[in-house]
Amino acid sequence: MSNSRTAIVTGGSRGIGRAVAERLAREGLGVVIGYAGDTGAADDTVAAIAGAGGQAIAVKADVADETAVAAMFDRAESELGGVDVVVHSAGRLALSTIADMDLDVLDTLHRTNIRGSFVVAQQAARRIRDGGAIVMTSTSVVKTQFPTYGAYAASKSAVEGMTMILARELRGRDITVNTVAPGPTATELFLDGKTQEQIDALAKVPPLERLGTPEDIARVVSFLVGPDGHWVNGQILRSNGGMI
């Protein structure tokens, strides 16, 4: 069975990635749920999509492993008919001052966030069908520059640096490349290790006075990969309620 359009969503088993996958499936796209290790969460996402009448498969892949990522694209082509949308939501977060950052942790973070983003972008550039859309994920902390986010912000700055370059390299194929940079969003990754006081303080920063939700970000991604957003290209869209 194949859909008219197919999306690969890395990090698609939880948080923002899951919200994106479910949103795109509701809009009629077949979805490949790329996940790193939690098979249960990935299967649960596939079941939720199927239960709502959509089509999805789960594919385990380390985004920094080019062989695994290529195999994920192979599955999308063989089982769902091709690749039209790539949303790269997989990532790691590690907080520390620059002075105290464990360099092994830094290497692991950057392997996923920089190399992983590059590998996914590389396969997308080679394999996505003309007329498609690529959406990478950054963070608004690249601009807010909160202490202890140095390693994470550096990795996401690299993602932003690739965005317009890749858009220009895909000239002539009617493919858009954009990056969404969420602000504080109520996901497991964001909430982990924070006190309620810290969470409440961050929620008050945007003029809209709340944390973002995964669904807020999914709506932005849906716009960018759909026909209404196809004139937006090479941009960093900071979806953060106005915090910067």
Number of Cβ atoms within 10 Å of the Cβ of 64: 21
Catalytic residue positions? Answer: 152
Amino acid 212: pLDDT: 96
Encode 93-126 in three state secondary structure.
CCCCCCCCCCHHHHHHHHHHHHHHHHHHHHHHHH
Report pLDDT digits (tens) over 194-240. Answer: 899 999 998 999 999 999 999 999 999 999 999 999 999 999 999 99
Residue 190 belongs to a domain: no
> Residue 110 in contact with residue 157, Cβ under 8 Å?
no
Residue 59 belongs to a domain: yes
pLDDT band at 188 (very low <50, low <70, confident <90, very high): confident
Number of Cβ atoms within 10 Å of the Cβ of 220: 20
Please write down the long-range contacts of 91-94, taking CB distance under 8 Å and 24 or more positions apart: 91/11, 91/116, 91/137, 91/155, 91/156, 91/189, 93/152, 93/189, 93/190, 94/151, 94/152
| Structural domains of the chain, count | 1
User: Structural domain of residue 60, as residue ranges?
Assistant: 6-183+214-239
CA 138, CA 153: separation in Å to the nearest integer?
8
Report pLDDT digits (tens) over 15-63. Answer: 999 999 999 999 999 999 999 999 999 999 999 999 999 999 999 999 9
Residue 191 belongs to a domain: no
Residue 92 belongs to a domain: yes
Amino acid 3: pLDDT: 52
pLDDT at 189 over 80: no
pLDDT band at 192 (very low <50, low <70, confident <90, very high): confident
CATH number at residue 115: 3.40.50.720
Residue 208 belongs to a domain: no
Residue 53 belongs to a domain: yes
Backbone CA torsion sign across 224, 225, 228, 230: positive
Report pLDDT digits (tens) over 101-138. Answer: 999 999 999 999 999 999 999 999 999 999 999 999 99
Residue 29 belongs to a domain: yes
Amino acid 1: pLDDT: 41
Choice among 79-88, 170-179, 183-192 with the minimum mean pLDDT: 183-192
Amino acid 193: pLDDT: 83
Residue 134 belongs to a domain: yes
Strand order in 56-60's β-sheet? 56-60, 30-35, 6-10, 85-88, 133-137, 176-182, 236-239
pLDDT at 2 over 60: no
